[in-house]
């Protein structure tokens, strides 16, 4: 959300809760605006409207702020990176042969351990 939208939300909270602004905390407004700008305006506004309807006590930031989770594109996930590495290895005969030798060595070591 943008700073003017955050100010609009603060104005609503001041209108419904006259004691909301903690004047003894010099940067109260700045702190709220900074955190509100991290959130989603429309969803936060809906939550503010619902909160003012349901509660006679001033809200905490957690009562009204809605921050949308950031969705990582599939191509940036660990699974996608691992899949790309496997595909690269499968396409390179030398890397694939090295991997097969390592796997065979691991199998042999496992069999030896089982016999002991």
pLDDT at 39: 95
Candidates 62, 60, 20; CA nearest to 39 is: 62
Rounded to two decimals, the pTM is 0.59
Count of other CB atoms within 10 angstroms of residue 6? 22
Q: pLDDT-based confidence at 78, cuts 50/70/90?
A: confident
The domain defined by 3-64 folds into: Helicase, Ruva Protein; domain 3 (1.10.8)
Dump pLDDT digits (tens) for 18-29.
888 777 777 888
Q: What is the mean pLDDT of residues 3-12?
A: 94
Please, are residues 37 and 66 in contact by the beta-carbon 8 Å criterion? no
Task: Compute the residue count for the chain.
Answer: 116
Please, are residues 35 and 1 in contact by the beta-carbon 8 Å criterion? no
């Amino acid at each position: 959300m943008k700073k003017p939208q955050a100010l609009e939300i603060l104005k609503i909270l001041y209108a419904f809760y006259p004691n909301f602004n903690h004047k003894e905390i010099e940067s109260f407004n700045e702190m709220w605006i900074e955190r509100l700008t991290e959130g989603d305006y429309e969803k936060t506004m809906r939550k503010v409207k619902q909160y003012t309807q349901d509660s006679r006590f001033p809200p905490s930031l957690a009562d009204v702020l809605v921050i949308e989770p950031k969705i990582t594109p599939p191509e940036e996930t660990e699974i996608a990176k691992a899949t790309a590495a496997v595909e690269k290895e499968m396409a390179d005969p030398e890397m694939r042969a090295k991997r097969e030798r390592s796997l065979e060595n691991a199998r042999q070591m496992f069999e030896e351990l089982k016999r002991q």
